[in-house]
Chains A and B, each alone.
Chain A
């Protein structure tokens, strides 16, 4: 106990002895810590934002489709919405949506474009999906509307048409026969990206069922789960309920988003490794200089009987004091950055040009305790090993040589 008191007394006083150098290192640790933590908060925010966006676009986390849908996304590959399947869905006790999808050709008086038709339950989609956030000119159609369509603003511009005008939709129905219908544009939606405005058009599901001869069927059933990242068990349960269908969670449906999520996990680690390497370099440099400058002092400590282990501990404690102070200051700075950005950063302005997932809404920093704790733990461990070399140098000094050093 007394030995530790002495070690702490020497370590704290030695900190002030080399005030300028140690303060520089402390500031470097604090800035590195703050940048790593705050960067981590934003990366986490972006990760979760991109996942939330992917799930919003899907309307849920788990998708049930016909086994052949992925290879051939055509109306003939659909899932029955009969009493049996409805009962299975109700047994799962989770919100769900049914949707019909088909690739279609749209013609106005002047232009023709391709898009994906979504036959939706308008009220439910407006409750559960990203559609609720889209600004719309005109209105979403009633469930019973038969010839109403909602088109994205960019597609409307491409077709050189406008709200209230008619367009012709052509596609193949579930029996692979030609299907054609004249529609009125009752709504023009504005999505965060022009790509989203061009990709999809929306009609009430009943009208699309009739158009594509898909009564009582859907291209996909989308099920919601509360935790976006823990979907495995729920996916297995849905797969068990629909053994002949293809059941995937959002990772399987949007592999790019999931790959980006994993990539950013790697980026966080690389970001931390860069900081840790700089930290180790600074720490070793500072401590080696301190040991060299105090060679005689370490020689004296050995000569008067301080055990090698105690000398080692003294250098390590000095190192940890600097690290601890740096971590506290860096943590406070990171917390202030978090509070400053807590209301979100509006990156949506970048979205039209970039079409980057997760950039279509304000970016909110996210603090995960595991990130903070693991970073502190890794820094402590790294600091320990980085300090070992100079500490061992201090122990390895020959007391006679050290005492005679000028």
Chain B
């Protein structure tokens, strides 16, 4: 390849098929996108349109049946499991719908543990974790375990965790699905601020029109294809 110099995510004719024969489902059908550094992209579409499949492929959690993916210029095709894990560790931050915190770790340990996997020194990662928790409004809750936090607080810990590893790309799969309106608004403001201040590329799958509004670029999907792409830089 190559993607352009500012391209962080690039896909070409990406296809993903589940099942086979009569029950074959074409979840993605020749998707090509190019996302530049610092973009805030939302992906919307009805259930089964292929948004989460696309996010999983970009996040190196899944492999396509056809097509190519480049993350920061690195082609994912041909990488083994361990190499894909490295790509996720170094370049990608995840925010999941269901928070997915490690229950035996405290809030601050959850935030710093990806940095620990990256080999960041103890003091630096603890500083980063505390700073991130402060940014998401959780100062003073560092030592609480996930079970002692509300859903919104857990989601903020998950965002802090994703950002503490200083990823090039933040992938969020319906991060507000389990949150109330006020918490969702706070979360979106936080993501917008991080996108502005840190120039972190954010790609977010959502159904929520209020959440979508925060994104500068909006992709709409249907039947495994991108049917609308507005706000392209």
Chain A contact residues, CB within 8 Å of chain B: 2-3, 5-6, 9-10, 13-14, 17, 296-297, 299-310, 399-400, 403
Contact = CB atoms under 8 A, between A and B. Distances in A.
Contacts of B61: 303, 399-400
A400 B103 contact: no
Nearest to A396: B81
Contacts of A6: 113, 116-117
A55 B177 CA distance: 83
A249 B30 CA distance: 85
B149 interface: no
Contacts of A13: 104-105
Given A14-B104, A399-B61, A304 B81 contact: no
A308 B82 contact: yes
A306 B117 CA distance: 7
Contact of B117 (A14, A304, A308): A304
Contact of A305 (B62, B86, B96, B105): B86
Interface in B72-102: 81-82, 85-90, 92, 94, 96, 98, 100, 102
8 contacts: A13-B105, A303-B88, A304-B88, A305-B85, A305-B88, A305-B89, A305-B92, A308-B82
Contacts of B89: 304-306
Contacts of A400: 56, 61-62
B85 A307 contact: yes
A301 B94 CA distance: 11
B88 A307 contact: no
Interface in B95-152: 96, 98, 100, 102-105, 109, 113-114, 116-117, 119-120, 122
Nearest to B145: A13
Contacts of B64: none
Given A305-B88, A305-B90, A306-B85, A300 B100 contact: yes
A293 to B, nearest CB: 11
A7 to B, nearest CB: 10
B143 to A, nearest CB: 14
Given A14-B104, A304-B161, A305-B117, 13 more contacts: A3-B116, A6-B117, A13-B104, A296-B100, A297-B100, A300-B96, A301-B102, A303-B100, A305-B89, A305-B90, A306-B117, A307-B86, A400-B61
A379 B105 CA distance: 31
Given A304-B94, A305-B85, A17 B103 contact: yes
B59 interface: yes
Residue among A3, A303, A308 with most chain B CB within 10 A: A303
A307 B80 CA distance: 11
Contacts of A403: 96, 98, 100
A308 B86 CA distance: 10
Contacts of A301: 102
B103 A297 contact: yes
A296 B101 CA distance: 10
B104 A303 contact: no
Contacts of B87: 305
Nearest to A14: B104
Contacts of A17: 103-104
Contacts of A309: 82
A303 B94 contact: yes
A305 B116 CA distance: 11
Contact of B81 (A9, A296, A303, A308): A308
A296 B122 CA distance: 27
A23 to B, nearest CB: 16
Contacts of B92: 305
Contact of B119 (A2, A9, A14, A310): A2
Contacts of A304: 88-89, 94, 114, 117, 161, 165
Contact of A300 (B62, B102, B119, B165): B102
A55 to B, nearest CB: 59
A299 B99 CA distance: 12
A2 B100 CA distance: 22
A399 to B, nearest CB: 5
Residue among A3, A5, A299, A403 with most chain B CB within 10 A: A403
* CB-based closest 7 A-B pairs: A305-B89, A13-B104, A305-B88, A300-B100, A307-B85, A305-B85, A6-B116
A17 B122 CA distance: 25
A43 to B, nearest CB: 43
A86 to B, nearest CB: 78
Nearest to A304: B114
B102 A10 contact: yes
A400 B89 CA distance: 16
A306 to B, nearest CB: 6
